[in-house]
């Protein structure tokens, strides 16, 4: 292929992606659907702008590699442990039951071999992590109970992909081999996984952190990005030469970095590469889709779509109720997670290329998964509306509802007062997946929050029993954002007297109230008028040409003179809560 042909293909990909994805995003449709549609339009089965897809596929595969790295990066040990009941309970149960069901259907109705049926069943059991997480983030539902449960199920599904990729790699390498040879290869591959994992863990434990510390010390952002890319590609290469998938290596690299202090910066640096290459991957999937199959067998494909959604929804209802998940949460989850996911493409496409699946079966499954993914936002909206019928605004029945909703909660934050400030704190906590529960005496605020599925209850902050119901013994901190100064002071004194170990973060309305609250036992105080005043003064000084260091020093001395050194020594509110 000439340089001009490469340039033409690149221009076609970029124009199609920008136009189609922008239009769909304006309609609040996931960008994944946009990339699939863009690929379908310009691919060989569409307008034929790009005739050969293989050259693009070789590069697009790295989109999945980077996606697995990001997933590994999102798995610090504390997060797994805080969600272990749902990740290794509900998530495991959902995958086990759904994969078994689809495996049985594949073997019985389509006469697939057991190993192939397991891979197909596993691929269809997966939901779209990218679309669902995007929906949860847009609606600020990540820290709600249904958001945490949904995230946990998706987390286990993503972990399962690693196992399916290992099985797929073994099947491709040993295609046509005898059963005993297959089992030997399976044992050998598992041994390799353990060996590579131990090697990478040892290297990561003793070399990774010092190397990152040294590179970070150079304060060269380009070198830091290059080191992250080197880590991903090196681990991917090591697992590849060991006979395993590159995706597994990238996942292991992410897990190693998840426990370090550099993971947030690495994630921010890698995100553009992941987004661009993953978009390219979905475009290549769209290019492979043969729309003629849909027009030729519409009844078959739409039957598969309906069966996929219906069966997954039934399984989700069963496992959620088995795990004592409330009906409102169950309804939202069963519709939001009942569709197919992007990792189905990662599993099914190589099965066609290696001859494990026929073209007709593969295309039917890919089209069904693509169509179901397009329905995810609509089903999520329907689930949200239907769940309202199961929601009860907690008043006198707060004890039963609160105890049920906080049963899985630990290391959470209690927000007292769900007005403007309390809601802002809740949004920020949700974005960092920090669980919270809130109380307020304004029934309008409580009812509105409950309709959105938020963990907000009616309660009087002066009563110790309320905080016991909210699990104060397991909470890491309490944020008090009350308009009445007297109520806030009494709440602080009651909490310090009965729960002396809990951290208190209190909003004050003026300097005098701040001093009183500090004497009452609050650990951190944020005066309502002081911070905006400091920000305004800082902006004025910046406009006069004063350096950032001088401004910071001036504001620091002023804080100490007004509030004392105790205020200055504390971390910012959100950082302190997270720690």
Considering 372, 389, 406, which residue would you say is the last residue of a domain?
A: 389
Statement to judge: residues 332 and 248 lie in one domain? yes
C-alpha distances in angstroms, 407 versus 256, 326, 465, 468, 578? Answer: 31, 12, 16, 12, 21
Statement to judge: residues 340 and 427 lie in one domain? no
Is 51 a member of any domain?
no
Considering 389, 410, 436, which residue would you say is the last residue of a domain?
A: 389
Is 129 a member of any domain?
yes
Give the model's pLDDT for residue 395.
45
Is the entire prediction scored with pTM above 0.85?
no
Domain containing residue 509: CATH number: 3.40.50.720
pLDDT digits (tens, 9 = 90+) for 532-541: 566 656 665 6
Task: Write down how long the chain is.
Answer: 579
Statement to judge: residues 369 and 476 lie in one domain? no
pLDDT digits (tens, 9 = 90+) for 220-261: 888 888 888 888 888 888 777 766 677 777 888 888 787 777
Statement to judge: residues 407 and 384 lie in one domain? no
Statement to judge: residues 179 and 321 lie in one domain? yes
Is 260 a member of any domain?
yes
Is 52 a member of any domain?
no
SS3 of 443-511: HHHHHHHHHCCCCEEECCCCCHHHHHHCCCCCCCEEEECCCCHHHHHHHHHHHHHHCCCCEEEEEECCH
Domain containing residue 106: CATH number: 1.20.1530.20
The band of 179, judged by pLDDT with boundaries at 50, 70 and 90, is: low
Statement to judge: residues 380 and 415 lie in one domain? no
Statement to judge: residues 325 and 202 lie in one domain? yes
Residue with tokens 């590159």: 246
**Angstrom distance (rounded) from CA 425 to CA 402:** 20
Give the model's pLDDT for residue 99.
94
Q: Is residue 571 predicted with pLDDT exceeding 50?
A: no
**DSSP β-bridge partners for residue 478:** 414, 504
pLDDT digits (tens, 9 = 90+) for 437-463: 888 888 777 777 777 767 787 777 777
Statement to judge: residues 38 and 122 lie in one domain? yes
pLDDT digits (tens, 9 = 90+) for 305-337: 999 999 999 999 999 989 888 787 888 889 999
Statement to judge: residues 316 and 347 lie in one domain? yes
Considering 327, 359, 389, which residue would you say is the last residue of a domain?
A: 389
Give the model's pLDDT for residue 247.
76
Domain count, the chain: 2
pLDDT digits (tens, 9 = 90+) for 294-313: 888 889 899 999 999 999 99
**Residue span of the structural domain in which 471 resides:** 398-578
Among residues 397, 394, 376, which one has the least CA distance to residue 332? 376
């Amino acid at each position: 292929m000439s340089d001009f042909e490469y340039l033409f293909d690149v221009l076609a990909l970029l124009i199609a992606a920008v136009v189609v994805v922008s239009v769909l995003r304006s309609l609040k449709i996931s960008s994944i659907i946009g990339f699939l549609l863009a690929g379908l339009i310009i691919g060989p089965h569409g307008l034929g702008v790009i005739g050969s897809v293989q050259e693009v596929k070789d590069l697009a595969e790295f989109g999945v590699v980077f996606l697995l790295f990001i997933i590994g990066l999102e798995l610090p040990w504390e997060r797994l442990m805080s969600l272990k009941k749902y990740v290794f309970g509900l998530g495991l149960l959902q995958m086990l039951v759904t994969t078994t069901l689809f495996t049985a259907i594949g073997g019985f109705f389509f006469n697939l071999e057991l190993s192939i049926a397991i891979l197909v069943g596993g691929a269809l059991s997966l939901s779209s992590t990218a679309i669902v997480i995007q929906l949860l983030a847009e609606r600020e539902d990540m820290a709600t109970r249904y958001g945490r449960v949904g995230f946990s199920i998706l987390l286990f599904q993503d972990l399962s992909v690693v196992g399916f990729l290992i099985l797929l790699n073994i099947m491709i390498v040993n295609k046509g081999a005898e059963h005993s040879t297959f089992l030997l290869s399976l044992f050998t591959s598992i041994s390799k996984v353990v060996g590579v994992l131990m090697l990478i863990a040892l290297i990561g434990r003793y070399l990774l952190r010092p190397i990152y510390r040294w590179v970070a010390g150079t304060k060269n952002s380009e070198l830091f990005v290059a080191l992250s890319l080197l880590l991903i590609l090196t681990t991917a290469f090591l697992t590849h030469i060991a006979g395993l998938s590159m995706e597994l290596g990238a996942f292991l690299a992410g897990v190693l970095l998840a426990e370090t202090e550099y993971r947030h910066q690495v994630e921010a640096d890698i995100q553009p590469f992941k987004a661009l290459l993953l978009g390219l991957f979905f475009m290549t999937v769209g290019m492979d889709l043969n729309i003629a199959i849909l027009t030729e067998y519409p009844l078959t494909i739409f039957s598969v779509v309906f069966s996929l959604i219906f069966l997954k929804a039934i399984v989700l209802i069963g496992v959620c109720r088995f795990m004592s998940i409330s009906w409102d949460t169950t309804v939202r989850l069963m519709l939001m997670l009942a569709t197919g996911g992007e990792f189905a493409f990662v599993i099914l496409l190589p099965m066609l290329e290696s001859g494990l699946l026929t073209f007709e079966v593969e295309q039917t499954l890919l089209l069904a998964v693509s169509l179901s993914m397009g329905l995810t936002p609509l089903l999520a909206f329907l689930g949200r509306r239907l769940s309202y019928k199961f929601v009860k605004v907690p008043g006198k029945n707060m004890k039963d509802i609160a105890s049920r909703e906080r049963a899985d909660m630990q290391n959470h934050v209690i927000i007292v007062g769900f007005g403007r400030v309390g809601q802002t704190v809740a949004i920020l906590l949700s974005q960092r997946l920090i669980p919270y529960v809130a109380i307020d005496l304004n029934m309008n605020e409580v009812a509105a929050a409950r309709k959105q599925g938020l963990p907000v209850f009616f309660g009087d902050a002066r009563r110790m029993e309320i905080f016991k119901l909210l699990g104060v013994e397991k909470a890491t901190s309490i944020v008090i954002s009350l308009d009445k100064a007297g109520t806030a002071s009494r709440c602080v004194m009651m909490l310090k007297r009965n729960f002396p170990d809990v951290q208190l973060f209190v909003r004050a309305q003026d300097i005098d109230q701040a001093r009183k609250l500090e004497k009452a036992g609050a650990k951190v105080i944020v005066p309502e008028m002081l911070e905006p005043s400091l920000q305004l003064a800082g902006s004025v000084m910046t406009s006069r040409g004063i350096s950032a260091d001088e401004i910071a020093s001036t504001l620091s001395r002023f804080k100490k003179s007004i509030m004392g050194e105790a205020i200055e020594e504390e971390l910012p509110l959100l950082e302190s809560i997270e720690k």
